[in-house]
């Protein structure tokens, strides 16, 4: 990108989307191939752009407008997606992906709904000081829990650790069994602190969203349990379906808030 290219232009530099291309609420998987699996769950969808790792489609789920944008692997590229989606008007973001569980009671195929995240990635540190918390929006968490309950999926709510490295940064050996300093104790330390899972994008997403006053959350399917040694790509669509239904529930929550004349969702309001 050169100095003559405006990062605030209507059509965004990396995503190649404009304000008419995306809904207010966007699901954020990592893999561009997952976009088709997400939109297959919707009433209708149309691809709007595909540039680099960023593939965007927009449609409706249960009548509610919804978009999906793939972010690639890791927090740096996810941050670019959030930046550019926010610039064209989106204000609600839900990561839908996969993760590794680190608590023994969690099964492959379960969902993890992130309430907050350990910021073991460098992207969010370039936005705000390291002791700033990465916290999910409570409305998004509530909608994800309600969606998982309605769909009958087993789920866990709690803290996620987001790393920049799939191997050494998550306590795995690197090439030729290389071990980074402290990696042998990493998973055990996180378990002791009641962290539920490890992935690579949630903490940056939550931090950036809070800095900008946006809504964000994350739901991931468990592909592996680091305690039991289980690994299966099972339940891939569960996170996407839960996230899609959560967007629909958030739209209903927003409507109820408007009718009640309040700014925040609370237990005294009902969707029924």
Active-site choice (53, 84, 201, 241): 84
How far apart CA 175 and CA 179 sit, in angstroms, is 9
Q: Known catalytic residue: 226?
A: yes
Q: Known catalytic residue: 172?
A: yes
Backbone angles phi, psi at 77, to 5 degrees: -75, -30
> Taking a C-beta distance cutoff of 8 angstroms, is the pair 56, 69 a contact?
yes
Active-site choice (60, 62, 172, 236): 172
β-bridge pairing 44-51 and 54-61 = antiparallel
Active-site choice (14, 16, 60, 230): 14
Angle of helix 75-87 relative to helix 202-212, nearest 10 degrees, comes to 30
Q: How many residues does the chain have?
A: 272
**Strand ranges (E), the chain:** 25-28, 44-51, 54-61, 64-69, 92-101, 111-120, 134-135, 155-163, 195-199, 215-225
How far apart CA 190 and CA 249 sit, in angstroms, is 32
Q: Known catalytic residue: 84?
A: yes
Active-site choice (87, 215, 226, 248): 226
Instruction: Name 254's Cβ contacts closer than 8 Å, sequence gap at least 6.
Output: none
Side-chain-side CA neighbours of residue 138 (13 Å):
5
How far apart CA 82 and CA 270 sit, in angstroms, is 30
DSSP 231: B
Q: Known catalytic residue: 264?
A: no
Which residues are known to be catalytic?
A: 14, 84, 172, 226
């Amino acid at each position: 990108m050169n100095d003559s290219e405006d990062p605030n232009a209507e059509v965004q530099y990396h995503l190649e989307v404009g304000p008419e291309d995306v809904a207010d609420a966007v699901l954020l998987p990592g893999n561009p191939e997952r976009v088709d699996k997400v939109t297959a769950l919707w009433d209708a969808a149309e691809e709007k752009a595909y540039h680099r790792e960023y593939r965007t489609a927009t449609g409706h789920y249960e009548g509610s407008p919804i978009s999906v944008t793939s972010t690639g692997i890791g927090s740096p590229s996810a941050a670019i997606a959030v930046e550019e989606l926010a610039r064209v008007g989106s204000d609600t973001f839900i990561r839908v992906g996969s993760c590794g569980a680190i608590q023994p009671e969690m099964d492959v195929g379960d969902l993890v709904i992130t309430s907050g995240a350990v910021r073991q990635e460098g992207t969010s540190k370039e936005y705000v000081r390291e002791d700033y918390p990465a916290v999910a929006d409570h409305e998004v968490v509530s909608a994800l829990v309600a969606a998982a309950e309605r769909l009958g999926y087993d789920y866990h709510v709690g803290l996620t650790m987001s790393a920049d490295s799939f191997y050494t940064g998550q306590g795995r050996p690197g090439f030729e069994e290389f071990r980074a300093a402290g990696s042998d104790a990493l998973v055990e330390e996180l378990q002791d602190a009641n962290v539920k899972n490890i992935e690579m994008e949630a903490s940056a997403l939550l931090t950036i969203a809070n800095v900008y006053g946006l809504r964000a959350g994350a739901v991931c399917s468990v592909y592996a349990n680091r305690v039991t040694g289980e690994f299966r790509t099972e339940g891939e669509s569960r996170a996407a379906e839960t996230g899609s239904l959560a967007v629909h529930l958030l739209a209903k929550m927003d409507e109820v808030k408007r009718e009640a004349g309040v700014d925040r969702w609370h237990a005294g309001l009902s969707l029924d």
